[in-house]
Amino acid sequence: MKPASAEPSQSTEILILGGGPAGSAAATILAQAGRPVQLLERERFPRFHIGESLLPHSRTLFRKLGFDPQVEAAGFTPKFGATFFSACGQHVRRIDFAHAEGLPCPEAFQVPRDRFDQLLLEHAEAKGARVFQGWRVLEIEFGREGVQVRAQGPGEESRILRARFLIDASGRSGLVSRTLGLRKRDPKLQKVALFGHFRKVKSGWGEKPGDIRIVTRSDSGWLWFIPLPDDCTSVGLVIDRDRIPAGFPGQDEAAFRQWIGQSKIVAEMMASAERMTPLRVEADFSYRPERYAGERWLLAGDAGSFLDPVFSSGVHLALASGMDAAEVLLQHRGTGALPRRALREFERLQIQRYRLFRRFVLGFDRPEFRDLFFHQPVPEGIYRAVVSILAGQDRPSPSLRWRLQLFFTLVALQRRFTLVPRLHHPAG
């Protein structure tokens, strides 16, 4: 452990901005390999963060990070699947991770992010990364020999720090993307989320203990219910930005309850619920950068791209891209610019992952997708392919790809030919 007075060095080989899952994963991989790495995080952990539901494929990444034992020992809520309810509550689809292909362990976790992120950041530090909390990055400049950032520490004055290479893992702040004007909003996925933690939320609607519950809304959007320890449930509403009608609740709890209570099943779940935290709002959903990397920098996690969280893919994609970014730097031994071929490959991987999950997220908004998604039974091979992706398989085999293509072809046909009975979408 470094002494409390320690400050970041003025120059370092690799600088990481942000100590969420992407930054901590990148720092761990680099530090494990003995590379000098310095990480700046503006907050002091533990700090609140939304995004508590993890995917089982992340366990493979935890093992590579040497972090799996800590996750197992932390006492997080085990999660073996996800249960989706139609707006009327009559149609239920359980995604059981045990049916995913190529998954070493079907157990994922629901995690309070303040604790999970702190454990992961401490793990990076224990592996040798130099971590500085309470350091906010204000500006970034790019030069031929490296990058320079201006950061403000716990004192008043800001400091200039230099590095050969930079990984931006600053989450939705997207420091590099914003500096270079790279961020492109996904026009089809502009949503707003409103959420808080509640106690006494009712369970037992056909889900298994530990499942995330997703309830679709008949007009637009969906709600999540994530069980956390100590009778705490994370509850959130996601809705299309351009369909927000007058009377949208904002942070007014009574209006929030009235709004979500339009769905009968949600009204019953929330009948005795008591709010434990303030209601919070997140907008600016779903974006991607024009580029994920340059000669001296790489984008990881939400600092690169962000997708509507209906399938809980965010933390998994953040871990994976943080580890990819670290691998690019590990392959590059010199001090010169990162080779173009490595940057292209890094970018190709990030785009491929984004598109894979985006296809499901976009589909989930469409009635024909929901008709097939909720339809029981589905041919075994197709169901397994869908479950595999929803468990976090981000590099599907050709066989999985082929079956996914078949699934989306059926969705397209359903639009015109009614292959399976259409779901009713009554208002609650």
Ligand X SMILES: Cc1cc2nc3c(=O)[nH]c(=O)nc-3n(C[C@H](O)[C@H](O)[C@H](O)COP(=O)(O)OP(=O)(O)OC[C@H]3O[C@@H](n4cnc5c(N)ncnc54)[C@H](O)[C@@H]3O)c2cc1C
Given the rule CB under 6 A, which of 63-71, 315-323, 336-344, 383-391 is the region that contacts ligand X?
315-323
- Contact between 43 and ligand X by CB under 6 A: the answer reads yes
Query: How far is Cα 33 from Cα 264, in angstroms, rounded to an integer?
Result: 53
Residues 53-82, interacting with ligand X (CB under 6 A):
53-54
Query: How far is Cα 141 from Cα 152, in angstroms, rounded to an integer?
Result: 15
Residues 218-257, interacting with ligand X (CB under 6 A):
236
| DSSP 3-state percent helix, strand, coil across the chain (nearest 5) | 35, 25, 40
Name, in order, each residue with C-beta under 8 angstroms of 286's C-beta and a sequence gap of 6 or more.
Answer: 185, 186, 188, 189, 190, 191, 306, 307, 308, 358, 361
Tokens representing 346? 């890094």
Given the rule CB under 6 A, which of 87-95, 158-166, 199-207, 314-322 is the region that contacts ligand X?
314-322
Given the rule CB under 6 A, which of 126-134, 172-180, 288-296, 341-349 is the region that contacts ligand X?
172-180
Least Å distance, CB 290 to ligand X, is 18
The residue within the footprint of ligand X, chosen from 137, 189, 235, 293 (CB under 6 A), is 137
- Contact between 50 and ligand X by CB under 6 A: the answer reads yes
Residues 380-409, interacting with ligand X (CB under 6 A):
none
The dihedrals phi and psi of 109, each to the nearest 5 degrees, come to: -140, 155
Closest to ligand X by CB, 93 vs 403, is 93
The residue within the footprint of ligand X, chosen from 83, 312, 393, 414 (CB under 6 A), is 312
Given the rule CB under 6 A, which of 36-44, 61-69, 270-278, 354-362 is the region that contacts ligand X?
36-44
The dihedrals phi and psi of 89, each to the nearest 5 degrees, come to: 85, 0
Name, in order, each residue with C-beta under 8 angstroms of 245's C-beta and a sequence gap of 6 or more.
Answer: none
Closest to ligand X by CB, 302 vs 324, is 302
Tokens representing 165? 């290479």
SS3 141: strand
Least Å distance, CB 59 to ligand X, is 13
Spatial contact of 346 and 325, defined as CB atoms under 8 Å apart:
yes
Residues 176-215, interacting with ligand X (CB under 6 A):
193, 195
Of the chain, the end-to-end C-alpha distance in Å amounts to 54
- Contact between 28 and ligand X by CB under 6 A: the answer reads no
Beta-bridge partner residues of 152? 136, 158
Least Å distance, CB 317 to ligand X, is 7
* Beta-sheet pairing, 287-289 with 297-299: unpaired
Least Å distance, CB 95 to ligand X, is 14
The residue within the footprint of ligand X, chosen from 8, 21, 146, 249 (CB under 6 A), is 21
Least Å distance, CB 341 to ligand X, is 25
Closest to ligand X by CB, 172 vs 425, is 172
Helix (H) or strand (E) holding 32: helix 21-32
Given the rule CB under 6 A, which of 4-12, 44-52, 88-96, 358-366 is the region that contacts ligand X?
44-52
- Contact between 42 and ligand X by CB under 6 A: the answer reads yes
Query: How far is Cα 388 from Cα 361, in angstroms, rounded to an integer?
Result: 15
The dihedrals phi and psi of 9, each to the nearest 5 degrees, come to: -70, 150
Given the rule CB under 6 A, which of 101-109, 167-175, 247-255, 367-375 is the region that contacts ligand X?
167-175
- Contact between 125 and ligand X by CB under 6 A: the answer reads no
Cα atoms found within 13 Å of the Cα of residue 250, Cβ hemisphere only: 3
Given the rule CB under 6 A, which of 61-69, 299-307, 373-381, 416-424 is the region that contacts ligand X?
299-307
The residue within the footprint of ligand X, chosen from 38, 170, 177, 216 (CB under 6 A), is 170
Centre a 10 Å sphere on the Cβ of residue 7 and count the other Cβ atoms it contains.
13
Centre a 10 Å sphere on the Cβ of residue 110 and count the other Cβ atoms it contains.
23
Q: Which residues of this protein are in contact with ligand X, per CB under 6 A?
A: 17-23, 40-43, 49-54, 136-137, 169-173, 175, 193, 195, 236, 282, 301-303, 309, 312, 314-316, 318
